[in-house]
Structure 1
Amino acid sequence: MPRFDLPLELLRSYRPEIAEPDDFDAFWSRTVSEARAAASVSRRSRSSAPLDLVDVDDVVFSGFGGDPVRAWFVRRRGVRRPLPAIVEFVGYGRGRGLASERLHWPVAGFAQLIVDTRGQGSQWGTGGDTPDPHGSAPAAPGFLTRGIEDPDDLYYRRVFADAVRAVDAMLEFDEVDPARVAVTGNSQGGAIAIAAAALHDRVAAALPAAPVLCDLPRVVGLTGEGMTAEVVRYLSVHRGSHERVFRALSYIDGANLAKRATAPALFACGHLDTIAPPSGAYAAFNHWGGADRTMVDYPWNEHEGGEGVHWVRQAEWLRALFGMPDRPADDAA
């Protein structure tokens, strides 16, 4: 893969001003308020997964419009003290999968909520369990262009509201320390983590890796790959809709949302990433509202970024931030 984006010395200062609607904050305040007003009590039931060292609950919480959203709540078995916690959002097209698939955060001492993405889970992985009952106007194949000409109908308006409600749900659990709740995700999950940190004032840390949906005026059409290619296909048919489309997208652009996020943040990007170009990740990073932020660069990687190597970096960073010991405790007290 040849280099196609800005060199590192320019990325470090790249801070584009993306057009932001006058009602941006009011739009998201209304969206979150409506989601919370429609909420019902979260439900939990013990999973039948054959796991001896962790407890797993199948969680149903209310998202956008009061719609049920599914998640796995996982933590070390027998731990009685409130745990630091992490809410994890998943990549484009996959669902929460099986309860046994993503155990790295619980075995590192965290309670973990693995959140389904509404309407997704049928492109890769082991499936999802959350439908999206809301329709939309004509759209290109995929999810990004659903409702793209009206901000109220945007698919990611619903997804980001779900993310806020996921944090709300995590804060309700007795097993969780409410002062130490982080959000994380890769790719689409990274974009959702940015939104959750921007829209929820009790997020204590954010760990977005290879986030998509950032600096959309630049990255749409930059490589022709990934979810932003859906916008190109849409515009190629709906000629003349460019201004309406990019105005709607500005409400979900990670660079605009990042300005509202103040929690400490650990970002990551691959410099050969054609799905989430590094200039998009740096646009969100350089606009981040909090002063405590770090970018981890992977100069020779594409969308896979640091993979397992980066998770070690994330775990070490978050354990230090949350005042946890150098290694997970051996006891369950």
Structure 2
Amino acid sequence: MPQIDWPLEQLKTYRGKSPKPADWQAYWDRALKELEAADPACTYEKDPVTVPGVECGHLWFTGVGGARVHAQLMRPTGFAGPRPAVLLFHGYEGHSHDWYEKLPFAQSGIAVAALDVRGQAGLSQDTLQITGSTFRGHIVRGVDEQDPDKLFFRNVYLDTVQLARIVAGLEFVDESRMASVGFSQGGALAIACAALSGQMGRTVAGYPFLADFCRVRELDYPNPAYDELKLYFRLRDPRHEKENGFFERLGYLDTQWMAEKLTAPVLFYTGLADMICPPSCQFAVYNRITAPKRQVIYPDYGHELLPGAWQEILLWLLEWAAGGQTP
């Protein structure tokens, strides 16, 4: 198999090198209080798409900063009683995609809410106003602000929590059977949602993004997803005089610190040939999870569709929703 990172045995013990801010917990406690004070002002409208056994519609809510945020919502019909629910999160710069992709969940009796991340290719609004670089990518948005609450992904993480709370309150959803699922950026958001909301009974994270930024920069793989880290130093800090503060600030967003907060079972996917989200950064996240967990490794696969993964995810969640306890 290809080796683009450390050997597997070394990866299994790696716990990251990026710093965790001393006030990490206080930072997110403050953020959640801000969210508590926000009126989500939810609205819902049906979509013209008609699918047997499923109602398709659009959920809108107001997130922090006043942005109107969109999620696709699929309600299973023809089932008795409240249904389990899956919150789906998409990859970087993407959107919630077609209804078709979510049908296996919805037609199996699982409600689906798929978030459009602010400022990316979906319908959600981005209202963040900052100084500093907005040339490429969202990771560094707000990193130069005096106020750490101006980080772009802080608002996105809070959107995942808001969505979880809204879905939990729907009359057709069983709030005790909710799961968060995603790959890449979606994997990071699935973990953040579970960590910050405390409402997820299961989490699926595939090759999560936004993890161990120092290691990402050290490896310097040629890829567009993390290119903005290199550009930040080239364009705004060519002598790396602000490097320590830069990585300290990004520590509020680092998926590995979110992973420490997980309490419910986690299914985790890793490709050892991944040159977008490096294997060592993925293991930095996985190795900090103390909840029941299982990692599925694809030695020859990178940042791509992993054969059999989505079928496994569906069956795992269906077993759990029906009362199974397999981690």
TM-score, structure 1 normalization? 0.90
Conserved 8 A contact 1:191-1:254: yes
The equivalences for 1:87-236 within 5 A come to: 87-121=87-121, 128-139=122-133, 140-150=135-145, 151-222=148-219, 223-236=221-234
TM-aligned CA distance change 1:80 to 1:57, over 3 Å:
farther
| CA distance in 2 between partners of 1:95 and 1:73 (Å) | 14
Conserved 8 A contact 1:64-1:159: no
Displacement of 1:74 after TM fit? 0.6
Displacement of 1:78 after TM fit? 2.5
Conserved 8 A contact 1:220-1:229: no
Displacement of 1:133 after TM fit? 1.0
Q: Which amino acid aligns with 1:244?
A: G
Q: Which shifted more, 313-322 or 293-302? A: 313-322
Displacement of 1:205 after TM fit? 1.0
Displacement of 1:2 after TM fit? 4.7
Q: Aligned residues, how many?
A: 317
Partner SS, residue 55 of structure 2: strand
Partner SS, residue 294 of structure 1: strand
Aligned position for 2:84: 84
Partner SS, residue 102 of structure 1: helix
Displacement of 1:43 after TM fit? 1.4
Displacement of 1:162 after TM fit? 0.5
Conserved 8 A contact 1:40-1:66: no
Aligned position for 1:256: 257
Conserved 8 A contact 1:269-1:305: no
| Cα deviations by residue, 1:291-318 (Å, 9 ceiling, x for unpaired) | x1111101110101515x1011112222
Q: Which shifted more, 216-225 or 28-37? A: 216-225
Q: Which amino acid aligns with 1:252?
A: L
Q: Which shifted more, 205-214 or 14-23? A: 14-23
TM-aligned CA distance change 1:101 to 1:322, over 3 Å:
closer
Q: Which amino acid aligns with 1:141?
A: R
Q: Which amino acid aligns with 1:14?
A: Y
Aligned position for 1:28: 28
| Cα deviations by residue, 1:232-260 (Å, 9 ceiling, x for unpaired) | 11111222221221011100001111111
Q: Percent identity?
A: 32
Conserved 8 A contact 1:213-1:252: yes
Q: Which runs of 5+ in 2 are unaligned?
A: none
Q: Which amino acid aligns with 1:287?
A: R
| CA distance in 2 between partners of 1:275 and 1:2 (Å) | 15
Aligned position for 2:290: 289
TM-aligned CA distance change 1:316 to 1:52, over 3 Å:
closer
TM-aligned CA distance change 1:100 to 1:315, over 3 Å:
closer
| Cα deviations by residue, 1:176-228 (Å, 9 ceiling, x for unpaired) | 11101000111100011111111111211110101111111101242131422
Q: Which amino acid aligns with 2:245?
A: R
| CA distance in 2 between partners of 1:74 and 1:220 (Å) | 39
TM-aligned CA distance change 1:52 to 1:315, over 3 Å:
closer
| Cα deviations by residue, 1:97-150 (Å, 9 ceiling, x for unpaired) | 3444432321233111011100100xxxxxx11120112222241211111234
Cα root mean square deviation, aligned: 1.8
Conserved 8 A contact 2:102-2:112: no
Q: Which runs of 5+ in 1 are unaligned?
A: 122-127, 326-333
